[in-house]
């Protein structure tokens, strides 16, 4: 039995690497085009409008730029309860809105069964619609990490 997996890319594409979660989605759409149990949502900076998709998700993958003080291009993985703590380190305005979405879903007892966040340490958050070369060169690796998680979840359902 397949369970629905929701992939949510969030970010602001006007501030270069802050948009990594959005820029990754076309690569994921291409790689996952045959997966009927996967829904890909472009969240941009939508805040509370994302409450519905988050509450409807059984398994949720969030993709965003994550400032963890690492080398630019480093892929960062946060699982379960680690995710709200990340939003405590505010990097941009949209994060506050999304932290509220997660808290509201939890309060309403409609939180995803499993939730993982993948992100990349940004190189630049300067005004600009393109990713920096450093981040662009690592998009394939970030895509692969997300695909591995999707396939891991799908395999665990089949054996459950």
Token representation of residue 82: 């680690």
Q: Using alpha carbons only, what angle is made at residue 134 by residues 131 and 139, rounded to the nearest 5 degrees?
A: 70
Query: What does the mean pLDDT of the chain come to?
Result: 89
User: What value does the mean pLDDT take over residues 47-71?
Assistant: 91
Residue 130, pLDDT score? 94
65 or 44, higher pLDDT: 65
User: Which residue's entry shows tokens 């730029």?
Assistant: 65
Domains in the chain, CATH or no CATH each: 5-159 (3.40.50.1450)
59-65 and 38-44: which strand pairing? unpaired
CB crowding 20-33: b at 16 or more within 10 Å, else e: bbbbbbebbeeebe
pTM here is: 0.91
């Amino acid at each position: 039995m397949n369970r629905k997996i929701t992939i949510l890319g969030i970010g602001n594409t006007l501030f270069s690497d802050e948009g990594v979660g959005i820029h990754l989605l076309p690569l994921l759409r291409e790689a996952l085009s045959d997966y009927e149990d996967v829904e890909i949502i472009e969240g941009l900076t939508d805040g509370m409008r994302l409450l519905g998709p988050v509450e409807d998700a059984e398994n949720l993958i969030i993709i965003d730029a994550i400032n963890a003080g690492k080398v630019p291009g480093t892929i960062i993985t946060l699982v379960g309860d680690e995710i709200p703590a990340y939003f405590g380190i505010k990097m941009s305005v949209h994060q506050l809105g999304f932290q509220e979405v997660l808290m509201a879903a939890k309060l309403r007892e409609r939180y995803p069964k499993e939730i993982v966040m993948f992100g990349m340490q940004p190189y630049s958050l300067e005004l600009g619609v393109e990713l920096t070369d450093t981040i662009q060169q690592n998009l394939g690796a970030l895509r692969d990490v997300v695909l591995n998680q999707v396939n891991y979840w799908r395999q665990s359902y089949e054996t459950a």
